[in-house]
């Protein structure tokens, strides 16, 4: 028969073992998740799209609206220099965004795009985008960054407006003091 102290020690060992196994499982999920996303094409925001058909549909105009957001405690201002444009599907187009680091420290951020309506993601082809890489800004630095894109001519006829929205997040562990 186990004493109360022995029983508590045994329970502590079991709990420690469970905690170690759960930590290892969580740690192993990161590369597993990345590989699944790579194979399935999900979360493909860090690479340029391939444009197959470059024919311009001159009979149709689509309104593209641009939006910007800064998340968490990122000390930046971030905005598109134009809020909307009208383009023909298949036409090469670009828009410029401006970011400014308002702090006294070096800050790195990553932009994540989203689209409205959601099905527009299949037809909005980005050829050049600041969202493909992390952006590091020096204290009080301002930078202009282009997004070059094409709307695929296969966009359904009932979609007349697409909203491209970027949210910038601070990349943790990259903050440095200015010096």
Q: pLDDT tens digit string along 75-120?
A: 999 999 999 999 999 999 999 999 999 999 999 999 999 999 999 9
Question: Hey, what are 173's tokens?
Answer: 């562990």
Whole-model pTM: value is: 0.70
Q: What is the pLDDT of residues 124-175, one digit of tens each?
A: 999 999 999 999 999 999 999 999 999 998 999 999 999 999 999 998 765 5
Can you give the pLDDT at residue 103?
96
Q: Which of 106, 111, 49 is nearest to 80 (CA)?
A: 111
Can you give the pLDDT at residue 177?
46
Residue in the block written with tokens 């309104």: 63
Could you please state the CATH topology (level 3) that the domain comprising 62-177 is classified under: Ctag/Cox11 (Pfam 04442) (2.60.370)
């Amino acid at each position: 028969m186990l004493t109360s102290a022995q029983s508590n020690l045994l329970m502590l060992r079991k709990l420690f073992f469970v905690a170690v196994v759960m930590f290892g499982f969580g740690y192993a999920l990161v590369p597993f998740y990345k590989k699944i996303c790579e194979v399935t094409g999900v979360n493909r925001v860090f690479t340029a799209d391939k444009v197959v058909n470059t024919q311009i549909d001159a009979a149709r105009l689509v309104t593209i609206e641009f939006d910007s957001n800064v998340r968490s405690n990122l000390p930046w201002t971030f905005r598109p220099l134009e809020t909307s444009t009208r383009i023909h599907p298949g036409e090469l187009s670009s828009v410029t965004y401006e970011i400014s680091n308002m702090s006294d420290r070096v800050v790195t951020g990553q932009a994540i795009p989203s689209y409205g309506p959601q099905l527009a993601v299949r037809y909005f082809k980005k050829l050049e985008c600041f969202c493909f890489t992390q952006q590091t800004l020096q204290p009080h630095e301002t930078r202009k960054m282009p997004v070059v894109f094409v709307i695929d001519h296969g966009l359904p006829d009932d979609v007349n407006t697409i909203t491209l929205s970027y949210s910038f997040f601070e990349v943790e562990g990259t903050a440095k003091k200015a010096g």
